[in-house]
A and B are shown apart, each in its own frame.
Chain A
Amino acid sequence: MKNKHNYVCINCPLSCSLELTEENGEVFKVTGNECKVGARYAEEEFKDPRRVVTTTILVRDGTLPVLPVRTAEAIPKRLVIDAVRALAEVVVQAPVTEGQVIYPDIMNTGVDVIASRDLMKED
């Protein structure tokens, strides 16, 4: 049974409406794209959509109550909600330096969650 999936390409202002046809996970074709990047994008979004996750973490003794963090790389899209839930339980102690690993290997993706900035200790 052939299935169709729709995506909007994000790679350039054209924002092509893409239609990907697949059966049992095998991609047959992509239509609607004006260039190869679009076709690739549709396939990626279908097979293995990934997202960079950015959120904040609670901080103890910092100049601010929360610290912005990011996944060092994109992680599978389906794990994003669980990832932020896991991170909601974390409290980090100030001071923190940018790039510091706050939560290694989030959701077993092999990707670390790192600090986006320095955060000083409150005096």
Chain B
Amino acid sequence: MKQTRKPELAVIGAGPAGLGAALAATEAGLKDVMLIERDIELGGILPQCIHDGFGSIVFKEVLTGPQYAQRYIDEVERANIDVLLNTMVLDMGADRRITAVNATDGIIEIEPRSVVLAMGCRERTRHQILIPGFRPAGVIMAGAAQRDINIEGLMPGRKMVILGSGDIGLIMARRFTLEGAEVEGVYEIMDHPGGLTRNVVQCLNDFDIPLHLSHGATFIHGRKRVEAVSVAAVDENLKPIKETERLVECDTLVLSVGLIPENELSKRAGIALDQATNGPFVDERMETSIDGIFACGNVVNVFDLVDYVTHSAETAGRGAAEYVLEGRKREKPVKVTPGRNVFYVVPQYVSDIGRDIDFYFRVQHPERAVRTRILVGGEPIESKKHRMVRPPEMIKQGTKPADFAGKRAVSEITVEVVPGEE
């Protein structure tokens, strides 16, 4: 009978979240940390994100994705962390027991004392947004196309139409162009771009790639391979306006229509999930509804800055170490409520106001000249000014224990946006 492994911590996923959590847990005193990764190497999604823009907060440098990953990979290799590559986690129970598999060890049973979930996310598919038409080859998600080009060295097509102006779609518009493919245009269903302005400028404007706002794809043509896509302007209900429909010839439709946190394992274990984020409910230490199971990175909610992923990972890693070394009985948690113009907040609960807490949140719609505030019992304890807030740009705001001074009974915490910079 094969021996069950019993590490102090099992981290599932070795992208920036998993790498950060494993290192933070080690630095906080854990000696037996296992890092499980299904791919052939460490880094998660970063090795394929060959563009720059990473690390301006954590390293005060502007790095490429692979450069950012390399920093953590080097550190993990120096630390005494047990790395399992090419290993897929098949199941996780509410008791934290994990079943995994790889080609050399076969089935692996793991009974960790704590777990950090760092599985990242998957991409929304064509059928989830219900694009009518045929089902030819050539309909591909932007992240998959990115992997094809930047890891496998293969071009998924020659003439692309990109649906969705989130950052991945914009980045890929440039990438395709720099590999000699043609990008006919980017079509975005909302009336504003989904990604950073920097990317609109440096990925589209630089190459004269048109951005068509308030447009959607209405039909995919081609039986064996994409031959064209019908596009149309949409009305205020995002419904296509038939008269504006036109045919765009292309051989590839690239979809950049959203990311979904990959929480299948979380569901199997019975972890409570927040519908607003599609990720687990977590508290200020990134602990989920099951004691000893923590979560960080995109599996909790889709971050846009990898630096924030790293911060959340360090919180989770430290949390796991504390859980193993000190044990902890969680106090009755206080709910964190999204207030005015806030779409969601992570963490959704606060168990212990006696520590520094980082709140990550997104606004529902753009607003100029505002303050974002954290309130306890209706009174603001933390406030920050912003010239502009927009949904694609996540906001991070922290509180310190001193901010709660004088508040004896904390029963409700709210995060809100209020107009006026003073």
Contact = CB atoms under 8 A, between A and B. Distances in A.
A–B: direct contact at CB < 8 Å: yes
Interface of A: 7-10, 12-15, 34, 51-56, 58, 63-66, 68, 70, 77, 80-81, 84, 98, 116-118
28 contacts: A9-B197, A10-B202, A12-B388, A13-B197, A13-B366, A13-B387, A13-B389, A13-B393, A14-B388, A15-B197, A15-B388, A51-B202, A51-B206, A52-B52, A52-B62, A55-B50, A56-B153, A58-B153, A64-B151, A65-B153, A66-B153, A68-B64, A70-B52, A98-B67, A116-B50, A116-B70, A118-B70, A118-B73
Contacts of A65: 152-153
A63 B152 contact: no
Interface string B194-217: 001110111001100000000000
A10 B201 CA distance: 8
A117 B368 contact: no
A81 to B, nearest CB: 8
Interface centre among A12, A53, A70, A84 (most CB of B within 10 A): A70
Please tell me the size bucket of the interface on B: 35 or more
A58 to B, nearest CB: 7
Contacts of B202: 10, 51
Nearest to B151: A64
B197 A10 contact: yes
Given A66-B151, A84-B178, A14 B368 contact: yes
B344 to A, nearest CB: 18
A64 B197 CA distance: 32
A54 B67 CA distance: 12
Nearest to A69: B50
B52 A117 contact: no
A70 B389 CA distance: 31
Nearest to A10: B198
Interface centre among B66, B151, B153, B387 (most CB of A within 10 A): B66
A56 B50 contact: yes
10 A-B pairs with the lowest CB-CB distances in the bound complex, closest first? A68-B50, A117-B66, A10-B198, A65-B153, A116-B66, A15-B197, A13-B388, A66-B153, A14-B388, A116-B64
